C-alpha cells in the first residue's frame, strides 16, 4: 500500500509540474504569435466533436461490457417506476443501500426535474441508452454559456472558443460524464446559463435558470445562496442578490425540513439526508455545523490540509492554470459546495473523478475567464508601471495568450489526469491515478468479448415479476424486475445471477468489499452449495443463474 501511495505521489507530482511548465511555455510562445485566422474556432469545433463522440461511444461500450454498476441501476429503476406509476421509488435503495423502509427517493435527494426528464420515456423504450444520450447532451451544452460568457467579457469570439474548448477537456467534466448517471451534474450547464444571463442583465431568463438550477438537487441552493451574496456585494445589485439568496435558502430549508422528512415518513429529515452522515462530526443540523466551522477554525484548517484533499483540489484548478484565483469574488460562490465536500469523511465526496463538486465547476471556470480579464487589465497595468516583463504587450494580446495557455493547461491536464484517448492512462495500463479497481480507463476495458455476449443470454430467462439478486454489474439490465438486490444480499430473492470471471466484485451493506474481492467464492457458496433451496438453471463461461426451488 505504501509503495502504491508513493507511486501516486510521483505520478501526480510529475503531471502537475509538467502541466505548469508546458502551459507557462505556451503563454510566452503565444505572446509572440498572431491570433489571426480561424484556428481557435477549429479547436472549438474539434473539441465538441471529440468530446461528444468519445463520451457517447465509451459509455455504450461500458454498458455492453458490464462496467455500469448500482448507481446507474438505481436511476433506471427510478425512471422506470416514475413512468409506470409506481412513484419515484427504487427497490435497490431498500434492499441493498441501507435505507430500510424508506421507499421514495425524494427522502434521500429531492430531484423534482426527474418528472420532466422522464417524459420522453413514454416514447423511448431503451432506458439505458436514453440516460446515456441525455446526460451527454446536457453536459455538452455547457459549452454554449461558457462560450457566450467568455465572448461577452472580451468582446472576442476567438477567446470565447478557446475557453469553451478548455471546459470540454477539463478532466473532471469527462469523468463525470463517463460515470453512471445522477442529477447533480445537470447543475453545470444550468448554473452557467444563470450566470451568463445575470451578466447580460436579462433578469427574467436569469431567474428561470436559477429556479431550474436549485430544482436539480437540494444542495445546489447552497451555491446559489452565495451567488446572491456575490450579486449584492460585487455587482451592487442588492434587490436581485437579496431575492436570489432568499429563494435559495428558503427552498433549501423547506426541502430538508419539510419535503424530505415527509417522504421519509419522519418529522425530522436531518437524520435521513445522506450528506449529513459524512459530516455528522461537525453537528447534527445545518446551524450546528455552521457554528462548529466558525468556532473551530484551526480544526477545520487542519482537516482541509490533508494531502489527498489538497491533491484533489489542485485537480480542479490546475486545468485552468490557477487563473481562477485571480477572480476571488466569483470563485467564492463555489465555497459552500467545496467546503462541505472537503470536510466530508468520505473520499468519494472530494474526489475530482466523481460528480459531487458539480455545482462548483461553473464558478471555477467562470472565475478563470474573469481572472484572465483581471490579469490582462490590472496585472498588465501593474507591470507597465514598473517596466517589468510584459510592458511591450497590450491587454488583448495578454488575454489571447492566457486563454490559449489555459486551453493548453486543460489539454495537458487531460493527458496526465484525464480519461480520454489523449490520456496516458488510456494507453498505459500501469499508469494508475487511483488505487481502485473501479478506476480503470484503459482502452482494454471497453473491448467487448465473447464472455460479455454469453452473459446477455441469461437476462431473458428471468421473468419480470421475479425478485432478483445479482452482482452490481448485471443490475442495469434487470431494472424492470419486481425487486432488485445487490449480491451477496439475496434473502427473499427468486433468482440469483453471478459472474465469477468479472474482475470488479461486490461490496454492499454488511459486506466488506475488500474481503469480498479477496474471497468471493465464500459468498457464491451460500447459494451454489445450498442445493436444497437453489436450483442451477444455466451456467456458461463462469456466469451462473440460480432459481429458488419454491418459486413458481
Residue 374 shares a structural domain with residue 501:
no
Determine, yes or no, domain membership for 290. Answer: yes
User: From the CA atom positions of the chain, what is the Rg in Å?
Assistant: 25
DSSP 179: S
3-state secondary structure labels for all residues of 427-496: HCCCCCCCCCCCCCCCHHHHCCCHHHHHHHHHHHHCCCCCEEEECCCCHHHCCCCCEEEECCCCCCCCEE
> ∠ CA(205), CA(210), CA(216), 5° rounding?
130
Residue 293 shares a structural domain with residue 369:
yes
More confident residue, 153 or 101: 153
pLDDT number for residue 45 = 98
Determine, yes or no, domain membership for 440. Answer: no
pLDDT per residue as tens digits for the range 335-361:
999 999 999 988 989 999 999 999 999
Are the CB atoms for 355 and 182 separated by under 8 Å?
yes
- Residue where a domain stops, chosen among 373, 408, 424: 424
Determine, yes or no, domain membership for 445. Answer: no
CA distance 78 to 84: 10
Determine, yes or no, domain membership for 494. Answer: yes
pLDDT number for residue 274 = 61
SS3 73: helix
Residue 141 shares a structural domain with residue 209:
yes
Residue 551 pLDDT exceeds 60: no
Residue 391 pLDDT exceeds 70: no
Are the CB atoms for 291 and 299 separated by under 8 Å?
no
| pLDDT-wise least confident of 72-76, 273-277, 386-390 | 386-390
Determine, yes or no, domain membership for 443. Answer: no
CA distance 369 to 323: 8
Give the CA distances from residue 337 to residues 154, 330, 340, in Å, rounded to whole numbers and listed in that order.
28, 14, 5
Residue 417 shares a structural domain with residue 460:
no
Residue 487 shares a structural domain with residue 352:
no
Question: Which are the contacts of 550, defined by CB distance < 8 A and separation ≥ 6?
Answer: 533
pLDDT number for residue 271 = 46
Residue 203 shares a structural domain with residue 158:
yes
Residue 382 pLDDT exceeds 90: no
Determine, yes or no, domain membership for 414. Answer: yes
CA distance 330 to 6: 35
Residue 468 shares a structural domain with residue 413:
no
Band the pLDDT of 511: cuts 50, 70, 90: confident
**Rounded to the nearest 5°, which phi and psi values hold at 363?**
-85, -25
Residue 454 shares a structural domain with residue 500:
yes
DSSP H or E stretch at residue 267:
none
pLDDT per residue as tens digits for the range 17-71:
999 999 999 999 999 887 888 999 999 999 999 999 999 999 999 999 999 988 9
Residue 500 shares a structural domain with residue 391:
no
pLDDT number for residue 275 = 66
- Map grid coordinates 466551522 to a residue: 293
Question: Which are the contacts of 157, defined by CB distance < 8 A and separation ≥ 6?
Answer: 40, 41, 151
CA distance 251 to 221: 7
Give the CA distances from residue 378 to residues 234, 235, 236, 371, in Å, rounded to whole numbers and listed in that order.
17, 18, 21, 10
Q: What is the mean pLDDT of residues 510-532?
A: 85
> ∠ CA(144), CA(150), CA(156), 5° rounding?
110
C-alpha grid cell, residue 110: 429531492
C-alpha grid cell, residue 325: 484565483
Is cis: bond before 357, omega within 30 of 0? Answer: no
DSSP assignment of 526-543 = HHHT-TTTEEEEEEETTE
- Residue where a domain stops, chosen among 382, 406, 424: 424
Residue 371 shares a structural domain with residue 328:
yes
Band the pLDDT of 269: cuts 50, 70, 90: very low
As a whole number, the mean pLDDT across the chain is: 92
Domain that residue 166 falls in:
2-424
CA distance 103 to 418: 37
**Rounded to the nearest 5°, which phi and psi values hold at 537?**
-90, -45
pLDDT per residue as tens digits for the range 142-188:
999 999 999 999 999 999 999 999 999 999 999 999 999 999 999 99
- Residue where a domain stops, chosen among 424, 441, 470: 424
CA distance 541 to 453: 10
pLDDT per residue as tens digits for the range 427-436:
999 999 988 7
SS3 237: coil
Residue 552 pLDDT exceeds 60: no
pLDDT per residue as tens digits for the range 454-508:
999 999 999 999 999 999 999 999 999 999 999 989 999 999 999 999 988 776 7
C-alpha grid cell, residue 363: 464558478
Residue 211 shares a structural domain with residue 345:
yes
Residue 241 shares a structural domain with residue 304:
yes
Band the pLDDT of 268: cuts 50, 70, 90: very low
Cα dihedral: 193, 196, 200, 205 (round 10): 20
Band the pLDDT of 394: cuts 50, 70, 90: confident
**Rounded to the nearest 5°, which phi and psi values hold at 221?**
-60, -25
Determine, yes or no, domain membership for 436. Answer: no
Domain count for the chain: 2
> Which of 497, 420, 508 shows the shortest CA–CA distance to 455?
497
Determine, yes or no, domain membership for 444. Answer: no
Give the CA distances from residue 547 to residues 484, 492, 519, 530, in Å, rounded to whole numbers and listed in that order.
14, 12, 23, 11
Amino acid at each position: 500500500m505504501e509503495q502504491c501511495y508513493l507511486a501516486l505521489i510521483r505520478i501526480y507530482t510529475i503531471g502537475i509540474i509538467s502541466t505548469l511548465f508546458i502551459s507557462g511555455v505556451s503563454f510566452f510562445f503565444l505572446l509572440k504569435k498572431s491570433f489571426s485566422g480561424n484556428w481557435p474556432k477549429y479547436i472549438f469545433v474539434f473539441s465538441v466533436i471529440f468530446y461528444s463522440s468519445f463520451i457517447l461511444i465509451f459509455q455504450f461500450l461500458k454498458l455492453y461490457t458490464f462496467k455500469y454498476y448500482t448507481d446507474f441501476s438505481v436511476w433506471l429503476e427510478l425512471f422506470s417506476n416514475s413512468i409506470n406509476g409506481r412513484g419515484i421509488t427504487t427497490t435497490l435503495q431498500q434492499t441493498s443501500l441501507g435505507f430500510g423502509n424508506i421507499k421514495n427517493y425524494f427522502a434521500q435527494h429531492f430531484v423534482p426535474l426527474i418528472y420532466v426528464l422522464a417524459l420522453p420515456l413514454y416514447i423511448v423504450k431503451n432506458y439505458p441508452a436514453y440516460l446515456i444520450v441525455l446526460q451527454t447532451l446536457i453536459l455538452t451544452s455547457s459549452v454554449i454559456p461558457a462560450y457566450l460568457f467568455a465572448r461577452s467579457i472580451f468582446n472576442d469570439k476567438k477567446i470565447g472558443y478557446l475557453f469553451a474548448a478548455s471546459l470540454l477537456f477539463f478532466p473532471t467534466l469527462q469523468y463525470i460524464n463517463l460515470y453512471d448517471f445522477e442529477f447533480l451534474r445537470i447543475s453545470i450547464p444550468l448554473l452557467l446559463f444563470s450566470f451568463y444571463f445575470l451578466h447580460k442583465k436579462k433578469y427574467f431568463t436569469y431567474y428561470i435558470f436559477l429556479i431550474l438550477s436549485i430544482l436539480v438537487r437540494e444542495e445546489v441552493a447552497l451555491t446559489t445562496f452565495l451567488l446572491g451574496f456575490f450579486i449584492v456585494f460585487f455587482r451592487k445589485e442588492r434587490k436581485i442578490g437579496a431575492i436570489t439568496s432568499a429563494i435559495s435558502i428558503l427552498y433549501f430549508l423547506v426541502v430538508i425540513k419539510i419535503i424530505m422528512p415527509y417522504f421519509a415518513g419522519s418529522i425530522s429529515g436531518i437524520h435521513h439526508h445522506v450528506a449529513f452522515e459524512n459530516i455528522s462530526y461537525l453537528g447534527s443540523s445545518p446551524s450546528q455545523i455552521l457554528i462548529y466551522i466558525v468556532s473551530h477554525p484551526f480544526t477545520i484548517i487542519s482537516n482541509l490540509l490533508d494531502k489527498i484533499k489538497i491533491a484533489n483540489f489542485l485537480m480542479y484548478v490546475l486545468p485552468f492554470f490557477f487563473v481562477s484565483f485571480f477572480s476571488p469574488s466569483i470563485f467564492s460562490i463555489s465555497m459552500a459546495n467545496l467546503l462541505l465536500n472537503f470536510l466530508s469523511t468520505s473520499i468519494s465526496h472530494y474526489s475530482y473523478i466523481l460528480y459531487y463538486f458539480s455545482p462548483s465547476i461553473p464558478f471555477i471556470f467562470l472565475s478563470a475567464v474573469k481572472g484572465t480579464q483581471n490579469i490582462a487589465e490590472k496585472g498588465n497595468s501593474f507591470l507597465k508601471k514598473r517596466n517589468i516583463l510584459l510592458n511591450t504587450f497590450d491587454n488583448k494580446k495578454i488575454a489571447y495568450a492566457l486563454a490559449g495557455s489555459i486551453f493548453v493547461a486543460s489539454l495537458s491536464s487531460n493527458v496526465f489526469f484525464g480519461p480520454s484517448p489523449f490520456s496516458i492512462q488510456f494507453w498505459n495500463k500501469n499508469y494508475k491515478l487511483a488505487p481502485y479497481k473501479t478506476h480503470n480507463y484503459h482502452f482494454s476495458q471497453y473491448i467487448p468479448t465473447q464472455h460479455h455476449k454469453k452473459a446477455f443470454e441469461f437476462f431473458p430467462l428471468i421473468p419480470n415479476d421475479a425478485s432478483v439478486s445479482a452482482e452490481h454489474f448485471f443490475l442495469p439490465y434487470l431494472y424492470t424486475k419486481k425487486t432488485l438486490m445487490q449480491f451477496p444480499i439475496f434473502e427473499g430473492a427468486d433468482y440469483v445471477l453471478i459472474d465469477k470471471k468479472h474482475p470488479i466484485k461486490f461490496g454492499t451493506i454488511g459486506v466488506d468489499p475488500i474481503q469480498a474481492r479477496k474471497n468471493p467464492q465464500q459468498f457464491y457458496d451460500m447459494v451454489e452449495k445450498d442445493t436444497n433451496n437453489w436450483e442451477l438453471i444455466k451456467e456458461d463461461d463462469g456466469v451462473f443463474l440460480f432459481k429458488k426451488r419454491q418459486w413458481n
